[in-house]
Amino acid sequence: MLKYVLRRIFQMIPTVVGVVLVTFSLFNIVPNDLAAIALGKNVTLDMLEDFDAQRGLDKPLFLGPAPRPALTKRPTFPLKQGAGVTEVMRSGLPSPPR
């Protein structure tokens, strides 16, 4: 059993190294500046800074733009007071064919 566990651990090392290399290369190959992609090739530094400032991309991650209110509200479902789970489930499902 110990041989099996050690073999699996040694097999894990090249897998992790491979995943790290692929992830690193993808992050360096794919352009990562949204402003440069959106504005095209003939862009000035001022245009890039304005683009980032308008969208809040110049701020740190935790101080970035506030979430939109529509995405932060909890959905409300019109339920009858005291309705059982089965009744609620049946009301949302189509009736079976006859």
Per-residue model confidence as pLDDT tens digits over 41-88: 788 888 888 888 888 777 766 655 555 555 445 545 555 566 666 776
Residue 5 has pLDDT above 80, yes or no: yes
Q: Can you give the residue ranges of every domain in the chain?
A: 23-59
Measured in residues, the chain has a length of 98
Of residues 17 and 30, the one with the higher pLDDT is: 17
* Structure confidence at residue 37 (pLDDT): 76
What does 2-38 look like in DSSP terms, one character per residue? HHHHHHHHHHHHHHHHHHHHHHHHHHHHS---HHHHH
Can you tell me the distance from the alpha carbon of 5 to that of 11, in angstroms, rounded to the nearest whole number?
10
